[in-house]
Chains A and B, each alone.
Chain A
């Protein structure tokens, strides 16, 4: 049975990040739809979790009871998860090119019923942290040492259910639960600060009694360091506010295209070519 996934070195991890980015662009351009920019902001976090030695999992046995769980609450960013799982060996990198196509299990949002290894069906924002609480409580009852990681979008923090969950996780002192807020600053119609400014996530989440950190979420070293710190905290739930940029890695291409939000649309084949060249 697979134990902790082998941790890549920082150099290897950064190289893996580029591989994930290239896959995200290729699969969304091939699909002709999807959310590449929302996926790209979360690459360093997903990369560190899956390949930095922070999660235990076994692609050969995806239902292994003691595995750690990864929930992508911002389900529209699922290309980053498909890319990581392909690289981890759950399926091939060519399989994911069927993204969003009729009959493919690589749906536009995660569907655990159709794809082994997906731990939560998401796509209606706001539910991931609550599902994570359930899994963390379940792991505690099962006494198997399983940890739960939930990636939440900053626009998604507008959902009241997230704040219900913050209170409940603290009540049950879920030291096996880590939430990562991917604060890329944009949501569907514009800047998160303009649509609904919730102020400091760190102050608010800390006020619920959680362990909190705020980091540069597109700096691979910072992400790894923050996850190392969080791993040592076992008496309460942990949050990492990961300040990122939507479309990180291909920003010059998006800027040239005149749209740094670039929400919910794929790169054209021409733009994708430029982006892939930037990431080669």
Chain B
């Protein structure tokens, strides 16, 4: 059982794979794109770009701090550096370098954190970026994007390159359900309603969007009409979509593959509490470091399931 299966969604590419393919395609149109890699390009898929454009792909070794600041320097000479590493290492290891070499001077650097969430599986908690969204959101001027599937990741990669200024794009390791079709719109800062509904709204991002669609399918069997919003941009958040959902459906559940604190749940709560207070519930990893195990087993054990979302909906309705 995978997230999306209840609703009959087909499994597509992993978001990291879609990113690698998209970046390579963008290389022609944007000669300013360069990649800076901390020796995990074959995992993050920046290697696909670096092989196509060898003079524009830099591997500085296992040295995340240097990697991020080198990208800051490249940006200050007019290039568009894409820096990819595991989300845990990029945000946690090189946080000060992101802060001082990129965010503070507003450098046009694209930070890509792959292998985010507990769904990386067996490699265990040291490799799981589950606080990365919180850290990225705390940096002034950094846009934070979490994509749900391959199609939207391709669009997000292009949008990220078009965007002026620093962006953090969060990607996952496993293959995930296809939610979007080619040609669907994607705009940084503008949420997508992927399923209409009137009784409750489930706001999700990353692979939990597929989980939210499954939950909506199950809820429909019980006569509950759930709206599902893919809040792919956590910052700047689409406050209009949140307020509209709160007004029209009267209750909100937020689902994300992240710690309880500082992620999508916090961002949505800030909007709801200040503008349109309604009952809310949260589905997330909680306040812990998880463990090693197979990806599906981890999602089940830590409550990142359609069933958990259904339970949360019942708490607020």
**Chain A residues within 8 Å of B, Cβ to Cβ:** 65, 111-113, 119-124, 126-127, 130-139, 141-142, 146, 160-161, 164-165, 167-168, 171-172
| Min distance, Cβ B271 to any Cβ of chain A, angstroms | 28
Residues of B within 8 A of A133 (CB): 60, 66, 69-70, 73
Q: Please determine whether A137 and B70 come into contact, CB atoms closer than 8 angstroms.
A: yes
Given contacts A113-B105, A138-B74, A138-B78, contact A130 B69 (CB under 8 A): yes
Cα A185 to Cα B60 with chains together (Å): 30
Cα A123 to Cα B63 with chains together (Å): 20
Q: Please determine whether B58 and A161 come into contact, CB atoms closer than 8 angstroms.
A: no
Interface bits B254-271 vs A (CB < 8 Å: 1, else 0): 000000000000000000
Judged by a CB distance under 8 angstroms, whether B167 is at the interface is no
Residue among B58, B69, B75, B105 facing the most chain A CB atoms (10 A cut-off): B69
The 7 closest A-B pairs by CB, nearest first: A134-B73, A138-B77, A130-B69, A164-B63, A164-B66, A131-B73, A134-B74
Residues of A within 8 A of B61 (CB): 164, 167-168, 171
Q: Please determine whether B65 and A164 come into contact, CB atoms closer than 8 angstroms.
A: yes
Cα A134 to Cα B75 with chains together (Å): 8
Residues of A within 8 A of B56 (CB): 141
Cα A113 to Cα B70 with chains together (Å): 18
Cα A146 to Cα B76 with chains together (Å): 13
**Chain B residues within 8 Å of A, Cβ to Cβ:** 34, 36, 55-56, 58, 60-61, 63, 65-66, 68-79, 81, 96-97, 99-101, 104-106
Residues of B within 8 A of A113 (CB): 104-106
Given contacts A122-B100, A172-B58, contact A161 B69 (CB under 8 A): yes
Residues of B within 8 A of A123 (CB): 100
* Cross-interface CB contact of A130 among B66, B77, B99, cutoff 8 Å: B66
Q: Please determine whether B73 and A142 come into contact, CB atoms closer than 8 angstroms.
A: no
Given contacts A126-B65, A137-B58, contact A112 B73 (CB under 8 A): no
Given contacts A113-B104, A121-B105, A164-B60, contact A135 B73 (CB under 8 A): yes
Cα A164 to Cα B101 with chains together (Å): 16
Residues of B within 8 A of A164 (CB): 60-61, 63, 65-66
| Min distance, Cβ A118 to any Cβ of chain B, angstroms | 9
Cα A138 to Cα B251 with chains together (Å): 50
Residues of B within 8 A of A142 (CB): 77-78
Residues of A within 8 A of B65 (CB): 126-127, 130, 160-161, 164
Cα A93 to Cα B69 with chains together (Å): 32
| Min distance, Cβ B194 to any Cβ of chain A, angstroms | 38
Residues of B within 8 A of A126 (CB): 65
Specify the chain A residue showing the minimal Cβ separation from B77. Answer: A138
Cα A159 to Cα B101 with chains together (Å): 15
Q: Please determine whether A134 and B76 come into contact, CB atoms closer than 8 angstroms.
A: yes
Q: Please determine whether A134 and B104 come into contact, CB atoms closer than 8 angstroms.
A: no
Since A133-B70, A134-B73 are in contact, a sample of 13 more A-B pairs with Cβ atoms closer than 8 Å, ordered by chain A residue number, is: A65-B78, A113-B104, A119-B76, A126-B65, A127-B72, A130-B97, A131-B73, A135-B74, A138-B77, A161-B97, A164-B61, A167-B63, A171-B61
Q: Please determine whether A168 and B60 come into contact, CB atoms closer than 8 angstroms.
A: yes
| Min distance, Cβ A108 to any Cβ of chain B, angstroms | 14
Given contacts A164-B63, A168-B61, contact A127 B78 (CB under 8 A): no
Q: Please determine whether B71 and A134 come into contact, CB atoms closer than 8 angstroms.
A: yes
| Min distance, Cβ B205 to any Cβ of chain A, angstroms | 30
| Min distance, Cβ B105 to any Cβ of chain A, angstroms | 4
Specify the chain B residue showing the minimal Cβ separation from A146. Answer: B77
Cα A146 to Cα B101 with chains together (Å): 20
Given contacts A121-B100, A138-B73, A138-B78, contact A165 B66 (CB under 8 A): yes
Q: Please determine whether A127 and B100 come into contact, CB atoms closer than 8 angstroms.
A: yes
Residues of A within 8 A of B63 (CB): 161, 164, 167-168
Cα A111 to Cα B103 with chains together (Å): 12
Specify the chain A residue showing the minimal Cβ separation from B55. Answer: A141
Residue among A121, A123, A134, A135 facing the most chain B CB atoms (10 A cut-off): A134
Cα A160 to Cα B74 with chains together (Å): 21
Q: Please determine whether B74 and A137 come into contact, CB atoms closer than 8 angstroms.
A: yes
Specify the chain B residue showing the minimal Cβ separation from A136. Answer: B73
Specify the chain A residue showing the minimal Cβ separation from B59. Answer: A171
* Cross-interface CB contact of A120 among B70, B71, B76, cutoff 8 Å: B76
| Min distance, Cβ B289 to any Cβ of chain A, angstroms | 25
* Cross-interface CB contact of A168 among B70, B74, B76, cutoff 8 Å: B70
Q: Please determine whether A120 and B105 come into contact, CB atoms closer than 8 angstroms.
A: yes
Cα A24 to Cα B78 with chains together (Å): 32
Residue among B68, B77, B106 facing the most chain A CB atoms (10 A cut-off): B77
Q: Please determine whether B76 and A124 come into contact, CB atoms closer than 8 angstroms.
A: no
Specify the chain B residue showing the minimal Cβ separation from A127. Answer: B69
Residue among B66, B99, B100 facing the most chain A CB atoms (10 A cut-off): B66
* Cross-interface CB contact of B69 among A111, A134, A141, A146, cutoff 8 Å: A134
Q: Please determine whether B77 and A135 come into contact, CB atoms closer than 8 angstroms.
A: yes
Cα A168 to Cα B79 with chains together (Å): 19
Residues of A within 8 A of B99 (CB): 124
Cα A138 to Cα B66 with chains together (Å): 15
| Min distance, Cβ A171 to any Cβ of chain B, angstroms | 8
